[in-house]
Structure 1
Amino acid sequence: MLQDVREMQKDSNPAPPQEKEDPPGFDDLNMGAYNLSEDDAKRITKEFDQLRFEVRRKGLLDGETPFFAQKILECLMIIGLAVILQIKGYYIPSALCMGLAWQQLGWMIHEYCHHQHFKNRFWNDIVSYFVGNLLQGFSSGGWKEQHNRHHAATNVVGRDGDLDLLPFWATVASDLKLLEGNWMVFQMIPYQHIYWSFALPFLRISWLIQSILFVSKMDSHFFEIHRKRARIEQVTLSIHWALVLLQLYFLPTFQVRVTYFLVSQLFGGFLLAHVVTYNHYSTDKFASKFQF
């Protein structure tokens, strides 16, 4: 009798199910590897230093004022064309031109925040407030805050903020483990390659919001340089939005204003985002802890 009870208990308590293991290579998907020996790493570093010194000696990294002046003038001319088209009643072409100008200005703030033009960093910053805050609506200081972190640890998982797109997108397989237990997101992620393209235009909207939030808090920022530059950033960003609202004011109806705003902003965002996609997310990522 006792033996029968034991047999029944054995059958009613089956062994716990084994955890499903990831398929081989799962963690390596879209991931690069640091597979250099110490000697190879030293050799490559030495050769790169030699190349860097040679490039600088030949002046290949020196900013050319005519080039930068031409690019800024081109952006201003596109904005001027947008205004002319608006006056003549061609509202959609005008909005598309404005979006194109904002995309081109995105590269200009990138170059000036990297101090590519002038040897004097102060003048690079001054121009960045013009092409960035005033014309583009992007905070120069906010751009540096985010973009410098990206360059300090480019495509390093957990350190490069540009890779952190959860919960809407998983850029590496390890992101999926962070989403375990979130049933709704797991139902959505398999289709990220589809809705990614539809979300590209909203990159500009995201950066505009981030710029406003960053500039509004610059007075109490941890870094002194941002506290000192708070006023000029706040003024130039305010002028940008005043000009945007003024332009919308001269449109005939509320519906046209909303349409113009969305077309110009989203088109500019799409032009920016598709370049960012190819440059950032199509390349290998790297683990935050590695050994040579």
Structure 2
Amino acid sequence: MADPVTIDTRGSDFAQLVRKITEAGLLDRRPVYYTVRICLAAAAYLGGWALFVWVGDSWWQLLVAVLMGVIFTQFGFLGHDLGHRQVFRTRRPSDNLGLVVGNLCIGLGWGWWNTKHNRHHANPNHEDHDPDVSPAVIVWSTDQARRSNGLPRFIAKWQAFWFFPLLTLEGWHLHVASFKSLANPSMKRRRLEGAMLVAHVVAYLALVFTVLPVGLGVLFLLVHQGVFGLYLGSTFAPNHKGMPILTKDDKLDFLRKQVLTSRNVKGGHVLDVALGQLNYQIEHHLFPNMPAPNLRKAQPIVQRYCEEIGVSYLETGLFDSYGQALRHLHEVGAPLR
């Protein structure tokens, strides 16, 4: 990990990078791209449910469940971009469409997720401040492993092997956490968010169990939500897992804090679409409001600049990124084995 920098250099390195990115026009909105993407996403969502109704009472519905899991995840990526104001510059249209995409379409609480995700961006991989590395079922550092008890302690011993199976539960976790967040009195738009979440659940369950008998309907739910959680979790896992975990003793400037805790996953345009372009995680963390299609163009600029100032920049393949993350999880659990 890089040595801490002084107050005099904090921001100056990043300021120079901002100038390069701004001069390249990569922070400009991409209205045509997002108009097309939103229309395609809406067509896929409505078409997927139309296919579900057309297939009817059939075991082929399990394939439809897989398809809907993919579509739900792609909606999650769109909600992510809206949350970072990559689509619109102002808050109101971002929030309005985000509520529809998140709460109403996929049952993911917009306000709760945005708050949580912004905390992650402010302090990525920080043991005390990043909610994505707070110990729950999975532990992320040897200190967390030693302090764990109950189920997390049991899981932590062999958590690298549990990791992907547990991701199939991530969709359920997100739905439950969205509803639990409504109990927070400081949450904005609680009634609206709650009403939209309830509307999603009622419409979702009513449609499934109107078309399918109970047994097949339950299987559809399990496959659909399992694929949703696995796909979504597998997209975010390569980005930070296995990268340095920061503590209160680490004093890094903004650029180094974001770059040193993030990992890029290299691949072609198909991988970009599959991962919601979050495979350019370093660029996304440095410029979270940069429209997603511009991240690929920003990547060589950021990598070259990091090389110039001596900051480690990690880019690897998809499977290698999973290998690094799983090896880290296995090493973390070593004290308990």
Q: For this structure pair, what is the TM-score category when the shorter chain's length is used for normalisation?
A: 0.7 to 0.9
- After superposition, the Cα gap between the structure-2 partners of 1:49 and 1:197, relative to the gap in structure 1 and judged at 3 Å, is same
Q: Secondary structure at the match of 2:88?
A: coil
Aligned residues: 248
> Residue in 1 aligned with 2:229?
269
Q: Specify the alignment match of 1:115 in structure 2.
A: 85
Q: Does 2:39 correspond to 1:35?
A: no
Deviation at 1:81, TM superposition (A): 3.3
Aligned to 1:48: 14
**Pairing 1:284–2:244 present:** yes
Give the letter aligned to residue 229 of structure 2.
G
CA contact 2:109–2:193 (8 Å) conserved in 1? yes
CA distance in 2, matches of 1:185, 1:104: 30
- Name 1:234's counterpart in structure 2: 194
Deviation at 1:131, TM superposition (A): 1.0
Structure 1 window deviating more from structure 2 (203-212 vs 62-71): it is 62-71
Q: Are the counterparts in 2 of residues 159 and 288 from structure 1 also a CA contact under 8 Å?
A: no
From 98, 114, 131, give the equivalent of 2:68: 98
Q: Structure 1 length as normaliser, TM-score?
A: 0.77
Look up the match of 1:194: 161
Q: Which residue in 2 is equivalent to 1:260? A: 220
Shift of 1:34: 4.3
What are the ranges of 5 or more consecutive residues in structure 1 without an aligned counterpart?
Answer: 1-32
Number of the residue aligned with 2:110? 140
Task: Determine the C-alpha separation between the residues in 1 that align with 2:73 and 2:151.
Answer: 34
Percent sequence identity over matched residues? 22
Q: Identify the residue that residue 13 of structure 1 maps to in structure 2.
A: none
CA RMSD across the alignment: 2.2
Matched residue, 2:120: 150
Which one of the candidate residues 23, 28, 31 is aligned to 1:62?
28
The equivalent of 1:177 in structure 2 is 146
**Structure 2 gap ranges (5+):** 253-337
TM-score, length-scaled by structure 2 = 0.68
- Structure showing greater Rg: 1
Contact 1:138 1:237 in 2 (8 A): yes
Shift of 1:44: 6.5
Please give the per-residue CA displacement for 1:235-260, whole angstroms capped at 9, x wherever unaligned.
32222112202221322310011011
Structure 1 residue 183: deviation in Å? 7.8
The 8 Å contact of residues 4 and 251 in structure 2, kept in 1 or not, is answered as no
